[in-house]
Structure 1
Amino acid sequence: MRAMILAAGRGNRMRPLTDNQPKPLLPVAGKPLLAYHLEKLAAAGVNEVVINHAWHGEKIENFVGDGSQWGLQISLSAEPEGGLETAGGIIKALPLLGDDPFWVINGDIWTDWNYQDLPTHLEDEQLAHLIMVDNPVHHSEGDFGVENGRLISKGSERKTFSGIGLYRKELLAPFPPGKQALKAFFDAAIEQKQLVGTCWNGLWTDVGTPERLHQLNQQLEK
C-alpha cells in the first residue's frame, strides 16, 4: 500500500507561525503534525510514502530523511514556489504512486483515526473513497451529502471532507500537470456516481489557524 501526504501549502492563515517553516512541521503536543501521519501509516502497513512540498521544502526533506526512522521508504515531490494546489500536486506525483489505489492525507490535519481502519479497496466503478466528518464551526455548510454510501452534491446531511481518502489514479490521470484544485475532480466523479464515502465522528481538526492549533494542544493536554 502506498500513500501520499500533502505538505506543499503556504499556510497563510497560520502566519506568523509558518513564516519560517511549513505547516505540517508545526508541533502538536510536542510532535510535528507530519510525524503523526508517518507513524500511523507505518503502523497500518504502508511501505512507501510520497510527500509533496513547496514552502520551506528543504525543512521537510531534512525532517523525514529517507523515512527509515519510521520504517518507511519516502519519496519527495518538489513543487515550484506557490505550489500546484491539491490536484496539481497529486497529478505531479502520480508516477511515484503506482497503479493501485493509494491513500492521500492532508498534512495539516490531526485525527485520532486509526489508519489501519482506512478503506483499502475500491469497486471497479469507484474512483475514490473519502472519509467524511461532522462539520466544524468554521465550515458549517459542509462539502458533500452522503446517501447510502455515495457522495452527492446536494442534501440536507452535508458533511465535511476530512482530507483523508483512497484514490485511483484514474481520478486525475487524464489531466496534464499544472496548478489545479481538487474539488472539480470530486464534482465530476459525483456526477458519474463514482465517489463513495464513510462518515466518522472521532477526533479531527483542520489545523488551519493559530487559534485551532492552540485549542488542539489544550485538548490533548487534558
Structure 2
Amino acid sequence: MKGVILAAGRGSRLGDATESLPKPLMTVAGRTCLDFAIEALLAVVEEVIVVTGYRAHLIEDHIAAHWPDAPVRTVRNTMLEAGNLTSLGAARPLIGHAPFVLTNADHLFPADMYTRHFAPRADAGIAIACERERPVLPDEMKVIEKDGALVAISKTLPKYDGAYIGTTRIGADSQTTYWAAFDHVLASRDLASASVEMVLHELAQDPQSAPQVCWLSGLKWFEVDTPEDLAIARESLIA
C-alpha cells in the first residue's frame, strides 16, 4: 500500500502568505500541513509519495530535514498551471500496480484518520471518504450516493447527500478500472481544470465501477484554503 499526497499547488487563495512559502508548509500547532498528511498515512502505508510543484525545493528540503528516516519520496509536477490530475499523473510511475491512498496536503487529518476512520484495504475496490453530519459549504465537493455507491460528484450539485473530503483509496483489484478512467479524463478534458474528482465522476457513470461512499463519523479535521481557514485551524489545534 502506498500513499500519495498532492502538494504541487501554490495556494493562491491564501494571498501573500504563499508568495514565498507553498501552502503545504503553512504551520498549524507547530507543524506544517504536510506533516499532518504524512503522519496519518505512515500508519498504514509502506511508502508515501509527495507530489511537489510550486517552490518544490522548499518541500523537498522540509522532508529531508523532518522525515529523514521515513519512507517518503517526492516527485515534481512541472505543469504548475494545470489541474491536480497532472499531479497524480506525475506520481503514477512511482505507484506502479500497488494499491494506494490519494489525499491532499491541505487537509489536516488526525493521526488515526486511516487506522480508525478510513482504513485502507489492498483488495477493497475504490472508496471515497465523505461527511454528512455538518453543513456543507458552497465551495465543497458535493456527492450523491445510492445504496452506498457514488452517483455524482461536483461542487455545483443543487441537491446532494454530503461532501467528499478529498481522500480516495484504490485497491489492487481496481487498478485497471481506475487508471482507465484516469486516461479517459486526461484525454478528454482541458488539463488546466482536469481534476482527480473528474476521475471519480467518470467511474460513477458505470454502476460496476462506481466508488463506494464511506460516510465518516466523529472525525475532527480542517481544510486550509483561505486565511480564515488557516486561522480557525490554528485556533483549534494548539501545539
Question: In the TM superposition, what is the alpha-carbon distance from 1:211 to its structure 2 partner?
Answer: 0.6
**Which residue is 1:161 aligned to?**
164
CA distance in 2, matches of 1:16, 1:68: 27
**Which residue is 2:179 aligned to?**
172
Which structure 2 residue ranges, 5 or more long, are not aligned?
Answer: none
SS of 1:9's equivalent in the other structure is: coil
1:74-153 maps to which residues of 2 (within 5 A)? 74-80=72-78, 82-112=80-110, 113-117=112-116, 118-123=119-124, 126=125, 128-134=126-132, 138-139=137-138, 142-153=141-152
1:1-222 maps to which residues of 2 (within 5 A)? 1-44=1-44, 46-65=45-64, 68-69=67-68, 71-80=69-78, 82-112=80-110, 113-117=112-116, 118-123=119-124, 126=125, 128-134=126-132, 138-139=137-138, 142-153=141-152, 157-167=160-170, 168-170=174-176, 171-173=178-180, 175=183, 179=191, 180-193=194-207, 194=209, 195-201=211-217, 202-221=219-238
Q: 1:85 to 1:107 in 2, by over 3 A?
A: same
Residues 22-78 of structure 1 show CA distances to partners (whole Å, capped at 9, x for unaligned) of: 11110011110111121222223x221111111100000001128854x53222211
SS of 2:16's equivalent in the other structure is: coil
Higher deviation after alignment, 4-13 or 185-194: 185-194
- Cα-Cα RMSD: 2.7
Percent identity over the alignment is 23
Structure 1 residue runs of 4+, over 4 Å off?
Answer: 154-157
Question: In the TM superposition, what is the alpha-carbon distance from 1:156 to its structure 2 partner?
Answer: 5.0
CA distance in 2, matches of 1:75, 1:4: 10
Query: Which TM-score applies when normalising by structure 2?
Result: 0.80
Residues 87-123 of structure 1 show CA distances to partners (whole Å, capped at 9, x for unaligned) of: 2211221110121220011000112252223232444
Structure 2 letter corresponding to 1:23:
K
Alpha carbons 2:51, 2:90 under 8 Å: kept: no
CA distance in 2, matches of 1:141, 1:31: 25
